[in-house]
Each structure stands twice: as structure tokens, then as C-alpha cells.
């Protein structure tokens, strides 16, 4: 989100804070739906920046149909919510006729109205079909479709192929196609929230929610672009609770939004000028400056992500939604396990709940050695987290780097825990041990950012050589 977006959403959220509970829920639903279009960046493929948000809304409606009990799908409230969502989409399509088109709510001129109306009919037909299918099929097909979509969006090669295909289908030249032509804003978080609800429904632990509540959860605008990834049952509990902002809430709002703005737009954006990047890495010639670039990037990425989280938590607090924390001083942790328990915490918890723990239980049932179970689960989990950021060699190597560190720490700490405890028999020695752990953990993580920040293995290896003075 830009400063302009934050200012507009902040003002609208401030107004929502003083609405009645019922009107506030409707207002947040409406604003979250519109935000999907308003935040979507303009794309060179004609009308794609309108169709992608529309597809996200359509998928959400279809999945909600499969999640909701049959007897509650067509209640008056849900029918009105579905009609309102469709009306909002059609209204946005009508903005193509404005003299000043595109409007501020869409990144470019929307497609023809009859095409949008036809797309809504297709979504309605798919939703009706989904409602008649056993949930087991919806669960399997839905998970597969979401994972495939994520893989296409995260893979430069697949994105390029999709861009060429869409350009040709749209009557545009494929020669200028780029993997950056398809940028589906927030889809990584949208997909993970939907997968969370599919898995919880499969396990029988998903609460019953209305379409309005479900769509607000999936597209909640403060957390749409950068998280955190909340759980549906916790989010809906806040959404349903009566709320009138108190002095304590306003203090939290001012503190978190102010801190987030300072971290993101003052500190992080300033550090970005000298942080590690492909351009800066190619220009640096000395070992000292290479380390400065690396340190700048380590703090820039933390301040950027955590700054957005602070803003999201502050905006949400205005309307009684207490989003979960995402960062808790991760660079001050004494080992890598503690770091990952405090860095992008909601993403880590998502992978722990839906991949790491199930895989661990599966492997233990095979009576494999404990070390092998730990090796497989930690490496595969971290590689998947790397792939979530991008299906490139460098992101996958970054995942392997983190997996190796976690595995070594697990084996090392088990073997030497008693010896360290015996040595750290005084407060001074305990402090020395803790400071040493923080120092080593920070530098292991910082060196890992080389793979994360640079686009190719060759450039990363070259930069490692620069760090070592080679």
C-alpha cells in the first residue's frame, strides 16, 4: 500500500469506528471488496487488472458455498450479500463510461459490461454446481487449483508462458510479454486463507460463517497485501463482538500506525537506497561496503515487513479487530528456532499447522529415526516457504539454507544442552552465551538474505566472495 492508500483507508476506517455494529460489518465488507480492485496494480494485458480481482471474489464465493451448511446458504442475509457483491462489481464495470475513466477504484478502464455480467453468471453456475458436489471433491480440486495457481504466479517461466497466452487471446503481441505482466495483488495471502478454511472444514473445526463474514475475512483490507494471516474463528469472533473504541484503543491505533509509517516510509525506504540488490551488488568493490549492503538489507526487509504489520494492526484496532502479531524482535533471538518463532509468525504457524505437523505425524507412523524425521520435515518446510516467495533457484536455496540451519541447531542443541547448562553457571556466563547466540543467529540469517535478495545463483556466489574479500 502507498501512503495515499493508507491515508484513504485510515480515514474510512475512522468513520467505520463510529458506526453501529451492524452497519460497521456491512461497511467493512463493502470496503474490503472494493479494496481488492483499488489496490490491484495496473497491468499491460488488457483488462487483466479487473479480471484478477473479480476472479478472487468469484473463487471466494464458490468456496464459501462449499463450506457453508446447505440449510444456511440461501438465507436472506447471504442472498443480499451475494447480490451486493455482484452489484459492486457491475458498478465498477460501469465506471468505464465515466468521462474521467478509469476511476480511482480501478487501475484501468474495466471491460465491457456484458462481459462482466456473463462472468458473474459463470461464477453463479459454478457455485451452484459446487454446492451439489461432495465436499471431499471440492477440497481436493480446490487445494490443487489453488496450489497450481500459486505455482504459476511464483514461477517466472510459468508466468511468462501465461502472459504470452493471455496476450494472444486478447489480441496483443506476445513478443513484449514478461513474467511481471501477471501480478495478482495479495493472492498469496488470499490463497492461504482459503486453504486454511478448506482444511479446517475437512477436519470439522470450521465455524459457520455468513458470506459477508467470510469475504471480509479473506479480503480484509489492512491485511490484504502483506498479512498477517489470521485464523477465521479468531477473526470472526472480533467481527461479531459489540465494539465501541475506548481511549486504550485509540492509543494503540496512534502508536502502531505511527510506528509502522516511520519504520516503512522513513527507515526502510531510506535503507533501500543502500541495501543489497542486484544493481548495488554489481557495483560494490570492497568487502566493507559489501557488509554494509548486507546489514542494510537485513534491517530494511525487517522494517518494511514489520512496518506494514504495525499499520495493519493499528487500522484493524480502530474497528475492534485484533490482528495477530507477525514480528517479535526476531533479530534478538539466541538461536534459529527462536528466530523463526518470531519472524513472520503467522506464515510460520500456517506452515506448521498444515504441512509440518501433518508430515511429522505421517513420518513417525513409519517408525523412521527421529533425526531423519526432523531432517525431512525441517528441510521440506523451509523449501516450501522459500517457494512461497518465488519458484526460483535462489529462493529455494534460501529455504535449504534455513532448513540446514534449523536441523544443525536441533542436533547441536540436543547434543550440547547439558554441557552448555553446566558451563553457564553464573549470570555473566549466561549473558555471554545469550549474546553469542544472538550474534551468530543474526549473521546466519543475514547471510541467508544474500540468496533472498539477489536474482541468480551466480550473482549470489559472487557477492559471497566479495563478503569474504575474494
Each residue of 89-135: pLDDT tens digit?
Answer: 999 999 999 888 788 899 999 999 999 999 999 999 999 999 999 99
Task: Give the residue with greater pLDDT, 420 vs 60.
Answer: 60
Q: Interior CA angle at 131 toward 126 and 63, to 5°? A: 70
pLDDT band at 418 (very low <50, low <70, confident <90, very high): low
Give me the pLDDT at residue 427, please: 81
Give me the pLDDT at residue 104, please: 85
Portion of the chain with pLDDT greater than 70, in percent = 98
Whether the full predicted model's pTM is greater than 0.75, yes or no, is: yes
Give me the pLDDT at residue 102, please: 82
pLDDT band at 178 (very low <50, low <70, confident <90, very high): very high
Candidates 182, 220, 213, 228; CA nearest to 36 is 220
Instruction: Give per-residue pLDDT as tens, 40-49.
Output: 999 999 999 9
Query: Can you tell me whether residue 97 is helix, strand or coil?
Result: helix
> How far apart are alpha carbons 44 and 164 in whole angstroms?
11
pLDDT at 422 over 90: no
Question: CA 89, 90, 96, 100 torsion: positive or negative?
Answer: negative
Give me the pLDDT at residue 426, please: 79
* Mean pLDDT, the chain, integer: 94
pLDDT band at 138 (very low <50, low <70, confident <90, very high): very high
Find the range with the poorest average confidence among 46-60, 294-308, 368-382, 405-419: 405-419
Structural domain boundaries of the chain? 19-240, 247-317, 330-467
Query: Can you tell me whether residue 250 is helix, strand or coil?
Result: helix
Q: Interior CA angle at 458 toward 453 and 464, to 5°? A: 65
Candidates 126, 143, 128, 132; CA nearest to 201 is 143
Which positions ≥6 away from 84 have C-beta within 8 Å?
A: 29, 30
Instruction: Give per-residue pLDDT as tens, 342-387.
Output: 999 999 999 999 999 999 999 999 889 999 999 999 999 999 999 9
3-state secondary structure 37-91: HHCCCCCCCCCHHHHHHHHHHHHHHHHHHHHCCHHHCCCHHHHHHHHHHHHHHHH
Instruction: Give per-residue pLDDT as tens, 120-131.
Output: 999 999 999 999
SS3 content of the chain, % helix, strand, coil (to 5): 75, 0, 25
Cell numbers of 92, please? 465498477
pLDDT band at 218 (very low <50, low <70, confident <90, very high): very high
Q: How would you class 66 by CB atoms within 10 Å of its CB: exposed for 0-12, middle for 13-18, buried for 19 or more?
A: buried
For cell 474521467, the residue is 100
Amino acid at each position: 500500500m502507498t501512503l495515499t492508500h493508507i491515508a484513504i483507508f485510515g480515514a474510512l476506517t475512522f468513520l467505520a469506528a463510529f458506526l453501529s455494529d451492524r452497519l460497521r460489518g456491512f461497511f467493512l465488507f463493502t470496503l474490503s471488496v472494493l479494496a481488492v480492485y483499488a489496490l490491484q496494480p495496473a497491468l499491460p494485458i488488457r483488462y487483466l487488472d479487473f479480471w484478477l480481482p473479480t476472479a478472487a471474489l468469484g473463487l471466494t464465493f464458490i468456496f464459501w458455498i462449499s463450506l457453508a451448511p446447505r440449510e444456511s446458504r440461501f438465507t436472506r442475509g447471504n442472498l443480499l450479500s451475494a447480490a451486493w457483491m455482484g452489484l459492486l462489481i457491475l458498478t465498477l464495470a460501469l465506471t468505464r463510461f465515466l468521462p474521467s475513466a478509469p476511476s480511482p477504484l480501478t487501475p484501468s478502464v474495466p471491460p465491457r459490461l456484458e462481459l462482466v455480467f456473463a462472468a458473474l453468471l459463470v461464477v453463479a453456475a459454478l457455485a451452484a454446481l459446487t454446492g451439489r458436489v461432495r465436499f471431499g471433491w471440492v477440497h481436493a480440486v480446490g487445494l490443487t487449483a489453488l496450489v497450481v495457481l500459486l505455482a504459476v504466479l511464483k514461477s517466472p517461466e510459468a508466468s511468462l508462458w501465461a502472459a504470452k497466452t493471455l496476450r494472444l487471446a486478447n489480441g496483443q503481441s506476445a513478443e513484449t510479454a514478461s513474467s511481471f505482466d501477471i501480478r495478482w495483488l495479495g493472492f498469496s495471502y488470499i490463497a492461504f486463507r482459503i486453504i486454511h478454511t478448506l482444511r479446517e472444514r475437512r477436519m470439522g473445526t470450521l465455524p459457520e460463517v455468513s458470506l459477508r463474514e467470510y469475504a471480509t475475512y479473506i479480503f480484509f483490507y489492512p491485511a490484504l497485501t502483506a498479512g498477517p494471516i489470521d485464523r477465521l474463528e479468531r477473526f470472526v469472533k472480533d467481527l461479531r463482538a459489540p465494539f465501541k473504541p475506548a481511549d486504550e484503543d485509540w492509543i494503540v491505533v496512534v502508536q502502531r500506525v505511527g510506528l509502522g509509517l516511520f519504520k516503512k516510509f522513513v527507515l526502510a525506504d531510506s535503507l533501500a537506497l543502500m541495501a543489497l540488490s542486484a544493481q548495488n551488488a554489481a557495483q560494490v568493490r570492497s568487502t566493507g561496503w559489501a557488509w554494509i549492503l548486507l546489514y542494510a538489507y537485513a534491517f530494511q526487509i525487517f522494517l518494511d515487513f514489520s512496518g506494514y504489520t504495525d499499520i495493519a494492526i493499528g487500522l484493524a484496532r480502530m474497528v475492534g479487530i485484533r490482528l495477530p502479531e507477525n514480528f517479535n524482535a526476531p533479530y534478538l533471538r539466541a538461536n534459529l528456532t527462536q528466530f523463526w518463532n518470531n519472524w513472520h509468525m503467522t506464515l510460520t504457524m500456517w506452515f506448521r499447522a498444515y504441512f509440518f505437523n501433518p508430515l511429522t505425524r505421517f513420518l513417525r507412523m513409519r517408525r523412521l529415526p527421529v533425526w531423519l524425521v526432523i531432517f525431512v520435515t525441517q528441510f521440506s518446510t523451509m523449501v516450501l516457504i522459500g517457494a512461497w516467495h518465488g519458484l526460483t533457484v535462489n529462493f529455494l536455496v534460501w529455504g535449504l539454507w534455513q532448513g540446514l540451519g534449523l536441523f544443525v541447531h536441533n542436533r547441536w542443541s540436543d547434543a550440547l544442552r547439558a554441557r552448555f547448562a553446566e558451563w553457564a553457571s553464573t549470570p555473566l556466563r549466561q549473558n555471554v552465551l545469550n549474546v553469542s547466540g544472538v550474534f551468530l543467529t543474526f549473521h546466519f540469517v543475514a547471510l541467508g538474505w544474500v540468496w533472498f535478495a539477489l536474482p541468480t545463483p551466480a550473482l549470489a556466489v559472487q557477492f559471497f566472495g566479495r563478503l569474504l574479500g575474494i
